[in-house]
Amino acid sequence: MRGRVAYFGVFTALALIFSYIETLIPLQFGIPGVKLGLANLVIVLALYKMGTGEAYLLSVVRVLLTGFLFGNYFSIIYSLAGGLLSLSVMALLRKNGGFSVMGVSLAGGVFHNIGQLIVAMLVVETFSVIYYVPVLLIAGMLTGLLIGIVSNEMLKRLVNISM
Amino acid sequence: MKIGLKKKDWVLIIIIVCVAGLTVLVHTFIGGKGANRVVVKIEGAIQDTYSLSEEGDYEINGGTNILQIRNGKASMVEADCPDQLCVHQKPVSLNRESIICLPNKVVVEVETGTSREFDAVTQ
């Protein structure tokens, strides 16, 4: 139990650092919402090494902390919608079986963007954001796949550590 | 490339690409050329309409954002929000394209002014 708490703390710190690094990378694709999602790496690792409950807690804690530190009220709602939808889909696919870490992470990336798009649609009360769907789908897929590949490599090396 | 993707992963990838392709098709069908004006909406309510053929800078939402129209394209040149996402976005000119400033709840949407033409015909 003590070990779990310690690991949870380390994971939270790591997620926070990744979120911060993300804000330092000046990646602008001309489309709002397209980013690497480095913090998702930690979420995927938590999902596989610690379990669904811990991953949810980590996700919420991360969003609240990064929101208060680097973002604003909007970025919290935004990230929370994306993060929770993404995690729900990832947990479902992982439980379902048949998907590799890459597949799970890839779906996570896509649904992260879909979650944010839904919030955007509700906030500005327009359907015209639908125009972003193809870009967000492909972008989410590629970044999710990238995160998945890294997660997979990390998980291979973390086999002997139980959390 | 050996990254260990399973069969179900590929199915997932194919589905996502297909959905993305389909939305592009739908978009080009409904959208496309012929757009001639931008509509500025704040919290879903139409605030102003500007023609894409007239160049100019417009203050919207009481000065929180500045919209610029040049060469038939609209872009956001200024916003008072911290993230500046709408400012970094590429200019829009095609039907149903939009620039959105979430913090200020401002939507700039390109559309075809068919209703106005219709009024002119029926007069």
Residue B96 zone, left/alpha/beta (φ > 0; ψ -120 to 50; rest): left
Q: Which residues is B57 bridged to in the sheet?
A: B68
- By DSSP bridging, strand B98-101 and strand B73-79 are unpaired
Region A22-43 average pLDDT: 73
Contact assignment for A99 to B8 by CB distance below 8 Å: yes
Among A102, A126, A138, the residue with its CB nearest the CB of B107 is: A126
Q: How does pLDDT run across A60-73, given as a tens digit for each residue? A: 999 999 888 877 77
Lowest mean pLDDT among A20-24, A40-44, A139-143: A20-24
Whether residue A162 is contained in a domain is answered as no
Chain B stretch 94-113, residues whose beta carbon is closer than 8 A to a beta carbon of chain A: 96-98, 100, 102-103, 105-107, 109
Region B6-35 average pLDDT: 81
Q: Which domain holds residue A102?
A: 2-157
> According to the model, what pLDDT value does residue B121 have?
44
Three-state DSSP class for residue A159: coil
Mean pLDDT computed over every residue of chain B: 79
Whether residue A62 is contained in a domain is answered as yes
Under a CB-based contact definition with an 8 Å cutoff, are residues B110 and B99 in contact? no
In chain B, the percentage of residues whose pLDDT exceeds 70 is: 84
Whether residue A138 is contained in a domain is answered as yes
Whether residue A95 is contained in a domain is answered as yes
Contact assignment for A125 to B5 by CB distance below 8 Å: no
Any idea what DSSP says for residue A30? S
> According to the model, what pLDDT value does residue A46 have?
92
| Total number of residues shown for chain B | 123
Question: Alpha-carbon distance A147 to A153, whole Å?
Answer: 10
Among B24, B41, B88, the residue with its CB nearest the CB of A28 is: B88
* Confidence bin at B112 (pLDDT 50/70/90): confident
Whether residue A21 is contained in a domain is answered as yes
Q: How does pLDDT run across B42-98, given as a tens digit for each residue? A: 887 888 888 888 888 888 888 888 989 888 888 888 888 777 778 887 788 877 778
Region A23-50 average pLDDT: 78
Question: Alpha-carbon distance A132 to B56, whole Å?
Answer: 26
ipTM of this model? 0.77
Of B97, B90, B91, the closest CA to residue B74 belongs to B91
Question: Alpha-carbon distance B68 to B70, whole Å?
Answer: 6
Structure tokens at A28: 């602008």
Structure tokens at A68: 């208060």
pLDDT surpassing 90 at residue A57: yes
* Confidence bin at A33 (pLDDT 50/70/90): low
pLDDT surpassing 90 at residue A105: yes
In chain A, the percentage of residues whose pLDDT exceeds 70 is: 88
Whether residue A12 is contained in a domain is answered as yes
Chain B stretch 52-81, residues whose beta carbon is closer than 8 A to a beta carbon of chain A: none
Whether residue A102 is contained in a domain is answered as yes
> According to the model, what pLDDT value does residue B116 have?
46
Region A71-80 average pLDDT: 81
Under a CB-based contact definition with an 8 Å cutoff, are residues A42 and A15 in contact? yes
- Residue A118 is which amino acid? I
Whether residue A19 is contained in a domain is answered as yes
> According to the model, what pLDDT value does residue B117 have?
43
pLDDT surpassing 70 at residue A117: yes
The total domain count for chain A is: 1
CATH code assigned at A120 = 1.10.1760.20
